[in-house]
């Protein structure tokens, strides 16, 4: 568990597959350029403060791969003031894989999130930018046991919430350390 985790005590979300930013930057250099360039400019539109990408692409550029109907990304809050999600796969309503965001704020456990939530159904190629530091969110399981959900996750930082304030246990929790 990280300090950003919001699962209930005793509940263990099954970790999803993960590709770190060093690997992505090596294999997909265009995606690294997008993170530091055009995507940062889009994130800037959502914020009055200057917006910065992570200094190290290893931290800033990560891919989550969720397979089948048993995996889901855990209930958590974000530590970065802005998160950008680039969806790679489509998951229309009814097929699972949606991002479930609490309308009640920072709550604990899937049931509390589900009680009053906004659901974002991934559309391949769509970039979503949001501030979820105070809204618990998780990714629902896929309904297809053979399904695959892929998303690129990119944090952005500001002077009032800089990269240096990133929780020290988060890299280990995400498998980046
Ligand atoms: Fe998140």
CA 8 to ligand 1 centroid distance, Å: 17
CA 76 to ligand 1 centroid distance, Å: 6
CA 82 to ligand 1 centroid distance, Å: 10
pLDDT at 11: 82
The C-alpha atoms of residue 86 and residue 73 are separated, in whole angstroms, by 16
Q: Residue 159 has which token pair?
A: 């002077």
Q: Which of 76, 43, 50, 74 is nearest to 167 (CA)?
A: 76
CA 99 to ligand 1 centroid distance, Å: 9
CA 161 to ligand 1 centroid distance, Å: 16
CA 70 to ligand 1 centroid distance, Å: 19
List CB contacts of 171: < 8 A, sequence separation 6 or more: 59, 177
| Beta-strand pair 73-76/137-139 | antiparallel
Please, what is the average pLDDT of the chain?
Answer: 93
Q: Could you give all domains of the chain from N- to C-terminal order, each with its CATH number?
A: 17-158 (2.60.120.620)
**What sign has the CA pseudo-torsion 15, 142, 155, 78?**
negative
Torsion, Cα 95 111 63 124, to 10 degrees, reads 30
21 φ, ψ (degrees, to nearest 5): -65, -30
Q: Are 70 and 144 in contact (CB under 8 A)?
A: no
CA 144 to ligand 1 centroid distance, Å: 23
| 50-58: average pLDDT | 95
| 89-111: average pLDDT | 97
* pLDDT above 70 coverage of the chain, percent: 98
* pLDDT above 90 coverage of the chain, percent: 84
């Amino acid at each position: 568990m990280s300090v950003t985790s919001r699962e209930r005590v005793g509940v263990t979300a099954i970790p999803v597959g993960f590709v770190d930013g060093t690997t992505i930057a090596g294999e997909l250099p265009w995606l690294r350029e997008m993170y530091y360039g055009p995507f940062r400019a889009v994130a800037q539109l959502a914020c009055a403060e200057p917006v910065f990408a992570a200094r190290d692409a290893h931290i800033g550029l990560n891919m989550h791969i969720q397979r089948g109907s048993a995996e889901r990304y855990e209930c958590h809050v974000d530590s970065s003031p802005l998160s950008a999600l680039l969806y790679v796969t489509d998951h229309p309503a009814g097929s699972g894989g949606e991002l479930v965001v609490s309308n009640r704020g920072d709550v604990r456990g899937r049931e509390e999130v589900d009680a009053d939530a906004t659901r974002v159904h991934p559309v391949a190629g769509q970039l979503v930018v949001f501030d979820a530091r105070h809204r618990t969110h998780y990714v629902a399981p896929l309904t297809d046991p053979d399904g695959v959900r892929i998303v690129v996750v990119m944090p952005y930082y500001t002077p009032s919430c800089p990269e240096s304030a990133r929780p020290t246990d988060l890299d280990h929790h995400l498998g980046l350390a």
